[in-house]
């Protein structure tokens, strides 16, 4: 560091005197360059060290994190403690040490509270210190903390929905990489939404997070002529396993209100109006082994969710067990005569779900499902060629949802001539379909007994394969932007049920998750 | 990004034919705007290739029975299926419809279901179960009854003044009696209006607060300070005036059959005198019991129209 010389220091002093933005920028650049140079030098020194001494026994006497003035000592201690030789049974070899030091740096980086890059220095402790041994090295991490508060406002213009939002984020709230994120938005369909989310890593481990949130929102459900107002909170523990799959387990407590019914709402929706409290525990597991989530050419994605509401001590006003499965797989199709990747791929998706009514508390009979717990199916993001929630039971103008569903799709993706396979643009031909069914007892109105529920669920499962599913087919263009996937399709329905809302012609979809 | 976003409207907005008239209208519209060539239209018309019967509705969906349905506040349970509502506005129209012999079924509901934001409302019978009917809000029920062949009621002399006694003086006392009197609120309003909405204590507490706040706001519209004793005294005077008006007649204004005015008063006297409600501070009950003819009026209507 000292060799950058007195001359450059002088210029920095001169720069400091003037403070116009251009100068500031240059100054920042100068600092960056200097830091970069130092970093490179360190790297070089490290490389030499490793080369010369890769098997040399080494011990770590101290680890220092520089520049982390707002981070708790105890929090950092957990991250770096495993490095210290005092906590290990045998000395490192030099190369092991480098590996472990880099691992700890990666952990530090993943908390997202420091600027990139995090520099690492290794040094020999002063020989005058009688407590050190000749094999000792001292490890220094030099970090720069990111700003602790971050605010953003903006507008989103999505498909058939416009919204404005304000977002404030506090990073490293209590010095342990905790985040508090407060978000407010108003829109045309989600009329208002407020959320405060607190997120903290557990035991200084960036792979395990605990989250708690409070939410309040009002959403227009035009497909069923009502507005749903939500107030409540949830908390969850999420962790990533060594194979890269994500687990989430949580509790949800939500006050839901079906209100603001439109003039011509069906009697089914009218009977759903009012308040209910959902108290549930849930688990979800997902694994993504696709090469590209929004435009996969190979790989596999799977997700399962399970939710238990109102059972036993959970109480609340609704009781059910709800389970969903979602998979997608992509297969590259080689072209004879073309070497390497042809850019042609076949993706297939499958989703299914079941809502099984349970009895609430001391009630003898299971609770029939409510519209806000039932599944909806159809729309540009799942079964294409149908209106939003176009499949399943309809009462008059309203898609009232179902308790059991299955949907599948097969898409053949072809690169466009002249554009090539490297651009995220594809031509697609698809066929997709599904069924969405209600669990019901045709003989009687009102709550069913356990036996009747069992019978009705088994009838509904049987009905899934009765006749062809509701199907549509079409073709279109897919554009995979890093933020979302866009689809413009032309499609025609092949098989429908009476009152299901198919769409003939062109439709447009934006989303992250497509069937 | 919203990941279940929906599509924009298509070039050819033909839907699966639900309503042939509508589709025809859309077709003419599309033809002039987009001028889809006839051969393509023919191809489009072939789809869908297969149409199966409809999906059945969920268990909670009411089964269609082609009858007039009045959505009101009502106690749950089979024995009270046809019983009187515990809400004065609901009971007024429930009684009125019964007085006019309109065949009717009541359905327990709440204010969220109503297009006006308040119960009651009437859903007239419809032939086609899947075709939504326009609901009749409370203020148009009288006109709807006339359109169904009911007789139009003659407006009596000074009826407006007496109606005002019920709609303002008695109603104000009622709001205080039910919502703002702490004991009565806990004993009567809580189980009827609050406990039925949810089992969650937080929701109940929040709704109870909302109810009492709304009642207070309503009273402050016409009173500068809320003085319960004053409201009760006014109600006593109103009962006295109504008792004098009724005299020895069976129904008000000397009619042979009960009308809207009888329904308006019955809506309050029935609930105030209802022995099942367990009022803790029965001030209004005592005030009403002092007028034998009003008590008999209520009993007459009760046995004539609400005996199961």
A280, A206, A515, A181: which is closest to A379 by C-alpha?
A: A515
Q: Exposed, middle or buried by CB within 10 Å (0-12, 13-18, 19+), for B50?
A: middle
d(CA A186, CA A482): 25
Residue range(s) of every CATH 1.20.1050 domain in chain B? 159-305
Q: What is the pLDDT of residues A48-77, one digit of tens each?
A: 876 776 777 888 888 999 988 889 999 999
Which of A160, A163, A258, A275 to mutate to test binding with chain B, by most B CBs within 10 Å of its CB? A275
- Whether A68 and chain B come into contact, CB under 8 Å, resolves to no
> Of residues B20 and A490, which shows the higher confidence score?
A490
Of A369, A445, A497, the CB nearest to B54: A497
Radius of gyration of chain A (CA): 29
CB A225 within 8 A of CB A264: yes
A161·B5 Cβ contact <8 A: yes
Q: What is the DSSP letter of A435?
A: E
* pLDDT of the residue at A159: 55
The pLDDT of B238-244, averaged and rounded, is 93
Provide the shortest C-alpha distance from residue A432 to chain B (in Å).
Answer: 14
* pLDDT of the residue at B24: 45
Q: What is the pLDDT of residues B181-239, one digit of tens each?
A: 999 999 999 999 999 999 999 999 999 999 999 999 999 998 889 999 999 999 999 99
The neighbouring-strand residues paired with A197 are A181, A213
* pLDDT of the residue at A1: 42
Q: What is the pLDDT of residues A376-424, one digit of tens each?
A: 999 988 999 999 999 999 998 899 999 999 999 999 999 998 888 889 9
Report how many Cβ contacts below 8 Å link chain A to chain B: 244
* pLDDT of the residue at A26: 87
Q: How many CB atoms lie within 10 A of CB B71?
A: 24
| Contacts with A258 (C-beta within 8 Å, 6 or more apart), sequence order | A226, A227, A228, A269, A272, A273, A274, A371, A372, B112
3-class DSSP state for residue B3? coil
B199·A317 Cβ contact <8 A: yes
Q: Is residue B136 pLDDT above 60, yes or no?
A: yes
CB A161 within 8 A of CB B2: yes
Place of tokens 């089964």: B63
Q: What is the mean pLDDT of chain B?
A: 85
Surface of A (80-139) touching B: CB under 8 A:
none
- Whether A310 and chain B come into contact, CB under 8 Å, resolves to no
Surface of A (397-426) touching B: CB under 8 A:
397, 400-403
Surface of A (9-48) touching B: CB under 8 A:
none
Of A158, A317, A492, the CB nearest to B5: A158
Topology given in CATH for the domain delimited by B159-305: Glutathione S-transferase Yfyf (Class Pi); Chain A, domain 2 (1.20.1050)
Q: How many residues in total does chain B contain?
A: 308
* pLDDT of the residue at A54: 72
Surface of B (14-43) touching A: CB under 8 A:
14-16, 18
Using a CB-CB cut-off of 8 Å, the residues of chain A touching B15 are: 501-503
Q: What is the pLDDT of residues B48-71, one digit of tens each?
A: 999 999 999 999 998 877 889 999
B55·A493 Cβ contact <8 A: no
Between 3.40.50.1010, 3.10.20.30, 3.10.20.310, 1.10.15.40, what CATH number should domain A57-146 receive?
Answer: 3.10.20.310
- Whether A437 and chain B come into contact, CB under 8 Å, resolves to yes
- DSSP readout, B213-257? HHHHHHHHHH-SS--HHHHHHHHHHHHHHHHHHHTT-SSGGG-SS
Phi then psi for A176, rounded to 5 degrees? -130, 35
CB A196 within 8 A of CB B43: no
A497·B132 Cβ contact <8 A: no
Q: How confident is the model at residue B14 (pLDDT cuts 50, 70, 90)?
A: very low
Of A261, A361, A500, the CB nearest to B16: A500
d(CA B248, CA B293): 7
* pLDDT of the residue at B7: 37
| Contacts with A212 (C-beta within 8 Å, 6 or more apart), sequence order | A197, A198, A233, A234, A235
**Positions in chain A whose pLDDT score sits under 50:** 1-3
Using a CB-CB cut-off of 8 Å, the residues of chain A touching B13 are: 503, 505
Residue range(s) of every CATH 3.40.30 domain in chain B? 69-147
Surface of B (167-206) touching A: CB under 8 A:
197-200, 202-203, 206
d(CA A336, CA A323): 43
Q: What is the ipTM of this complex?
A: 0.84
Using a CB-CB cut-off of 8 Å, the residues of chain A touching B130 are: 394-396, 499
* pLDDT of the residue at A17: 63
Closest chain B residue by Cα to residue A389: B6
Place of tokens 């994120």: A181
* pLDDT of the residue at A132: 75
- Whether B278 and chain A come into contact, CB under 8 Å, resolves to no
Using a CB-CB cut-off of 8 Å, the residues of chain B touching A363 are: none
Q: Which helix (H) or strand (E) holds B44?
A: helix B38-46
- Six-digit token pair at A423? 């651009």
Using a CB-CB cut-off of 8 Å, the residues of chain B touching A271 are: 60-62, 107, 109, 113
d(CA A68, CA A244): 29
Q: Exposed, middle or buried by CB within 10 Å (0-12, 13-18, 19+), for A434?
A: buried
d(CA A24, CA A12): 11
Q: How confident is the model at residue B27 (pLDDT cuts 50, 70, 90)?
A: very low
3-class DSSP state for residue A12? helix
Of A259, A393, A494, the CB nearest to B112: A259
> Of residues B177 and A117, which shows the higher confidence score?
B177
- Whether A378 and chain B come into contact, CB under 8 Å, resolves to no
The answer for A455, left when phi > 0, alpha when psi is -120 to 50, beta otherwise, is: alpha
Q: Is the peptide bond before A117 cis (omega within 30 degrees of 0)?
A: yes
CB A364 within 8 A of CB A378: no
Using a CB-CB cut-off of 8 Å, the residues of chain A touching B16 are: 493, 496, 498-502
The second-level CATH assignment, the architecture, of B69-147 is: 3-Layer(aba) Sandwich (3.40)
CA distances from A45 to A5, A10, A63, B22 (A): 20, 28, 19, 79
Domain parsing of chain A, residue ranges: 1-53, 57-146
B55·A497 Cβ contact <8 A: yes
B113·A500 Cβ contact <8 A: no
Of A260, A501, A511, the CB nearest to B3: A511
Of B4, B58, B206, the CB nearest to A400: B58
Pairing of strands A320-332, A226-240: unpaired
CB B88 within 8 A of CB B267: yes
Q: How confident is the model at residue B80 (pLDDT cuts 50, 70, 90)?
A: low
- Provide the strand spans (E) within A245-318: 246-259, 274-288, 299-309
3-class DSSP state for residue B182? helix
d(CA B9, CA A505): 9
CB A498 within 8 A of CB A467: no
């Amino acid at each position: 560091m000292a060799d950058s010389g007195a001359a450059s220091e002088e210029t920095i002093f001169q720069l400091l005197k003037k403070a116009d933005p251009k100068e500031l920028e240059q100054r920042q650049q100068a600092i960056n360059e200097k830091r970069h140079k130092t970093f490179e030098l360190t790297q070089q020194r490290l490389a030499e060290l490793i080369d010369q001494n890769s098997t040399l026994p080494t011990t770590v006497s101290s680890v220092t994190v520089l520049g982390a003035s707002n981070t708790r000592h105890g929090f950092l201690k957990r991250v770096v403690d495993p490095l210290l030789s005092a906590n290990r049974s045998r000395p490192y070899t030099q190369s092991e040490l480098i590996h472990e030091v880099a691992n700890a740096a990666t952990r530090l980086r993943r908390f997202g509270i420091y600027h990139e890059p995090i520099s690492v220095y290794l040094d020999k402790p002063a020989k005058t210190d009688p407590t050190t041994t000749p094999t000792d090295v001292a490890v220094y991490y030099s970090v720069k903390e990111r700003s602790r508060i971050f605010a953003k406002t903006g507008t989103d213009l999505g498909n058939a929905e416009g919204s404005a939002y304000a977002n404030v984020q506090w990073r490293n709230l209590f010095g342990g990489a905790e985040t508090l994120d407060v978000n407010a938005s108003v829109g045309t369909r989600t009329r208002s939404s407020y959320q405060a989310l607190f997120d903290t890593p557990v035991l200084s481990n960036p792979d395990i997070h605990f989250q708690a949130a409070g939410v309040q929102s009002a959403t227009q459900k035009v497909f069923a002529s009502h507005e749903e107002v939500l107030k409540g909170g949830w908390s969850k523990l999420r962790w990533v396993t060594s194979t890269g799959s994500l687990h989430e387990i949580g509790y949800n407590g939500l006050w839901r209100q079906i209100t603001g019914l439109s003039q011509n709402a069906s009697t089914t929706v009218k009977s759903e109006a009012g308040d209910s409290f959902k108290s549930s525990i849930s688990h979800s597991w997902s694994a993504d082994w696709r090469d590209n989530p929004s435009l996969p050419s190979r790989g596999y994605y799977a997700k399962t969710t399970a939710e238990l509401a109102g059972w036993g001590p959970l109480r609340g006003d609704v009781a059910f067990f709800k389970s969903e499965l979602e998979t997608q797989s992509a297969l590259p199709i080689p072209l004879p005569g073309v070497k390497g990747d042809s850019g042609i791929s076949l993706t297939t998706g499958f989703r299914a779900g079941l809502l099984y009514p349970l009895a609430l508390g001391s009630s003898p009979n299971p609770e029939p499902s409510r519209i806000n717990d039932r599944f909806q199916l159809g729309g540009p993001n799942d079964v294409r060629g149908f209106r939003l929630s176009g499949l399943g039971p309809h009462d008059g103008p309203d898609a009232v949802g179902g308790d059991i569903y299955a949907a599948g799709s097969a898409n053949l993706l072809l690169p466009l001539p002249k554009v090539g396979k490297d651009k995220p643009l594809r031509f697609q031909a698809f066929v997709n379909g599904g069924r969405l069914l209600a669990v019901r007892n045709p003989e009687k109105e009102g709550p069913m007994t356990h036996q009747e529920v069992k019978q009705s669920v088994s009838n509904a499962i049987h009905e899934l394969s009765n006749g062809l599913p509701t199907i549509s087919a079409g073709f279109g263009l897919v554009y995979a932007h890093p933020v979302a996937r866009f689809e413009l399709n032309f499609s025609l329905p092949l098989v429908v049920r009476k009152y299901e809302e198919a769409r003939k012609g062109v439709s447009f979809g934006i989303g992250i998750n497509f069937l | 990004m919203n990941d279940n976003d929906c599509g924009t409207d298509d070039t050819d907005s033909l839907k699966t034919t639900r309503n042939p008239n509508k589709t025809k209208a859309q077709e003419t519209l599309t033809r002039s705007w987009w001028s889809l060539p006839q051969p393509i239209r023919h191809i489009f018309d072939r789809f869908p290739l297969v149409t199966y019967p409809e999906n059945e509705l969920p268990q909670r969906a009411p089964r269609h029975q082609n009858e007039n349905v009045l959505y009101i506040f009502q106690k749950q349970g089979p024995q009270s299926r046809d019983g009187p509502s515990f809400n004065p506005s609901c009971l007024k129209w429930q009684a009125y419809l019964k007085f006019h012999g309109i065949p009717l079924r009541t359905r327990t509901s709440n204010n969220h279901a109503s297009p006006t934001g308040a119960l009651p409302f009437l859903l007239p019978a419809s032939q086609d179960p899947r075709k939504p009917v326009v609901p009749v809000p409370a203020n148009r029920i009288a006109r709807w009854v006339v359109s169904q062949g009911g007789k139009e009621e003659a407006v009596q002399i000074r009826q407006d003044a007496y109606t005002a006694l019920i709609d303002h003086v008695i109603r104000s006392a009622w709001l205080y009696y039910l919502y703002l009197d702490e004991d009565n609120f806990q004993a009567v309003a809580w189980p009827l209006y609050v406990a039925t909405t949810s089992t969650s204590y937080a929701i109940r507490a929040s709704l109870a607060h909302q109810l009492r706040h709304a009642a207070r706001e309503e009273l402050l519209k016409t009173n500068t300070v809320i003085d319960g004793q004053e409201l009760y005294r006014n109600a006593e005077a109103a009962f006295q005036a109504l008792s004098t008006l009724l005299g020895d007649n069976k129904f008000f204004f000397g009619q042979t059959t009960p009308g809207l005015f009888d329904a308006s008063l019955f809506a309050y006297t029935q609930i105030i005198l209802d022995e099942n409600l367990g009022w803790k501070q029965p001030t209004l009950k005592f005030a009403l019991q002092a007028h034998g003819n009003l008590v008999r009026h209520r009993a007459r209507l009760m046995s004539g129209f609400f005996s199961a």
